[in-house]
Structure 1
Amino acid sequence: MILELVKSPLGRLRIIAFVEGISYLVLLGIAMPLKYLAGLPQAVKTVGMAHGVLFVLFVVLLVQVAVEKSWSFKKSMLSFLSSLVPFGTFYADAKWFRD
């Protein structure tokens, strides 16, 4: 299943969207509380860096897929905006990232 997804740009976008969504939830739900409640700022530095790299990769893949699939500007922007909201990439996968 995963090997089949990796073969297409849309499949790669779906995988990265999932991992990016998980990293966002970990950042907000685990790393931030560790920083502010337990005084462990390293958690945000580590998870934040990983999330930042995944977010940039998500945007690059989103642009690639939007161009390749001739997505409308609205669909492309909604897909992008979904990555800014917790659980948004999971919604986008169910709504827009399926063939």
Structure 2
Amino acid sequence: MTNFLTTPVGRLRLYAFLEGISLLVLLLLAVPYKYFLHDPSLVKIIGPIHGALFLLFIVNALRMGIEQRWAFKDTTWKVIVACLIPLGTFYIDYKILRHIPTHEK
């Protein structure tokens, strides 16, 4: 569990999880709350949090792609596109990120 905070791969996996959760909260809670109850307050709170996590994930995915020497057409683009699809970051963590060896820095 400590690898999630101490290794670059672990941090990317953590960012993927947080970004995925924030997108689900935004889509399943905040947006319906906005349109059905006519109160945009949750979107105003969760939207920027999700945006920051989204950018954090993208930047770290590109960084990891460079550090790990991933072929862009084989791995990096899949990891980046995953954050555009609901549940995509969970899938990409299961298929790609969890299989990357972690080593302490």
Relative to the length of structure 1, the TM-score reads 0.95
CA RMSD after TM alignment: 0.8
Tell me the amino acid that sits aligned with residue 70 of structure 1.
Answer: R
Identity of matched residues, %: 45
Which consecutive unaligned segments of at least 5 residues does structure 2 have? 101-105
Question: What's the counterpart of residue 97 of structure 1?
Answer: 97
Which consecutive unaligned segments of at least 5 residues does structure 1 have? none
Question: What's the counterpart of residue 103 of structure 2?
Answer: none
In structure 1, distance between residues paired with 2:7 and 2:69: 15
Structure 2 residue 64 is matched with structure 1 residue 72: no
Tell me the amino acid that sits aligned with residue 22 of structure 1.
Answer: I
In structure 1, distance between residues paired with 2:52 and 2:31: 18
Query: 4+ runs of 1 displaced by more than 6 Å?
Result: none
Kindly indicate whether the alpha-carbon contact (under 8 Å) linking 1:9 and 1:64 is maintained by their aligned counterparts in 2.
Answer: no
In structure 2, distance between residues paired with 1:72 and 1:45: 37
Tell me the amino acid that sits aligned with residue 36 of structure 1.
Answer: Y
Kindly indicate whether the alpha-carbon contact (under 8 Å) linking 1:32 and 1:44 is maintained by their aligned counterparts in 2.
Answer: yes
CA shift, 1:40, in A, is 1.1
